Amino acid sequence: MDPQKFRPSSAFNSPHWTTNSGTPVWNNNNSLTVGVNGPILLEDYQLTEKLANFDRERIPERVVHARGAAAKGFFEVTHDVSHLTCADFLRAPGVQTPLIVRFSTVIHERGSPETLRDPRGFAVKFYTREGNFDMVGNNIPVFFIRDGMKFPDMVHSLKPNPKSHIQEGWRIADFFSHHPESMHMFTFLLDDWGVPSDYRHMEGFGVHTFILINAQGKETLVKFHWKPTCGQKFLLEDEAVVVGGTNHSHATQDLYDSIARGEYPEWQLCIQTMEPEMADSFEFDPLDVTKTWPEDRFPLQPVGRMVLNRNVDNFFNENEQLAFCPALVVPGIHYSDDKLLQTRIFSYQDTQRHRLGGNYLLLPVNAPRCPHHNNHHDGFMNFVQRSEEVNYFPSRFDPSRHAERYPIPSRPLSGRRERAVIPKENNFQQPGARYRSFDPARQDRFIARVADILLHPRTTQEIRRVWLGMLSQCDSGLGQKLAAKLQAQAVL
């Protein structure tokens, strides 16, 4: 008997029922009792195993991105970018790499409607020949805050009130009144953009700035963009009510059904690039995650296409246990000094170890598809068969060696320890420009959604005036229209 062949897999199911240990089960309908109607015996291992497994079927839901749907497919390079990066999966046009994608909402619980106004996660795991690369992004190109120190507080403000368990506008208005950099994010979230019609008609962004490194060690700053070939679509309030009231899993079902029909969703991957020496020459900090790089100065460059052509085989195994982390990069791609990215490098792997256990990267959906080897033995749920006698490095009894060296960022670092705000905050220029790009009807809808938050009975006049001041700095006309709407409600 080959134990590797018969390790747990539905491909090797026995024709009869068994316990987890493989013992045949001849009756899976009745508990073991004393007599026909007697009490149940504690020795009924089959019953206690069944109940114990059922009691543990649910793992802790994600603190954020709890509600999501996944699909599988491939990425194909369509344009040569080998002059920018030595990443193996981007080595030449025509190269294909398997991947899995998870789309999600951010703030709300696992069973919440997919029509709620909320950012959407857009996370892609590339199973490359050099290990997994996780591009963990959103459907909005910017974020609320620029420093991860604020992240737990930000999430708490957006989550339900811990006393009432109700998401309340006054808490959101209060917290973000202290963070003017959030105005750019709100011009997306409170715009029509805030409720995508489904996952297929949704753009994706790496959000952060990363670094591409070529074989010669040359570094290039980069931002990643996913463009759906079927275009973008959004739901307005009345439409969202109808769709969400009909099917609270509409986006998950749309994704699943479209793939089942053979209408495979597809996105084009584009990049924006910048020479590192240019970074200080703009009116904004290119590493500031609350900013976009203007496309007229940094045009989108096509790289490849992503096609989702397979649904998950098991929702729990390939969605709930699917785990992403922006720390997972491959040679040729590296982190920038973006403060929020630097925080997420730790936070994501830490939360996955809490949620799934220390060996979460051994789970099939998270494990690399390339050969891999290290001495990370043992721990909870380490199910890999290990027969080595040497579990240390280096050893003359083990031929394992270091991998070939590859280039990493080599810029010298200097400075003193300090907790500082970036010099170029420039919080209002880009959100003002975005607001002015809306047509009048879209501007009115945006103002109505802002007012809805500020009109919460517990939002104070001080908080309203702070928001009014921030949005007036974005655009004076926006401030005037918002003030008129608030005055009409006699709250200013």
List b or e across 262-283, with b for residues whose CB sees 16 or more CB atoms inside 10 angstroms.
eebbbbbbbbbbbeeeeeeeee
Q: What is the DSSP letter of 131?
A: E
Confirm whether 138 is a catalytic residue.
yes
Confirm whether 65 is a catalytic residue.
yes
Which value, to the nearest 10 degrees, does the dihedral of the CA atoms of residues 196, 456, 238, 261 take? 30
The tokens for 11 are: 């491909």
Q: What is the DSSP letter of 180?
A: G
Q: Are 471 and 478 in contact (CB under 8 A)?
A: yes
Q: CA–CA separation, 129 vs 90, rounded Å?
A: 11
Q: Of 65, 184, 208, 225, which is the active-site residue?
A: 65
Instruction: Tell whether 348 is in a known binding site.
Output: yes
Give the residue from 131, 110, 124 showing the smallest Cα distance to 66.
110
Would you mind telling me the total number of residues written for the chain in this entry? 492
CA of residue 353 relative to chain centroid, distance: 16
The tokens for 380 are: 């909870």
Kindly state the helix (H) or strand (E) to which residue 354 belongs, with its residue range.
helix 339-356
The tokens for 139 are: 């459907």
Q: Of 108, 132, 138, 139, which is the active-site residue?
A: 138
Q: At what angle do helices 237-246 and 250-260 cross, to 10 degrees?
A: 70
Beta bridge partners, 387, equal none
- List the catalytic residues: 65, 138
Known binding-site positions for heme: 348
Known binding-site positions: 348
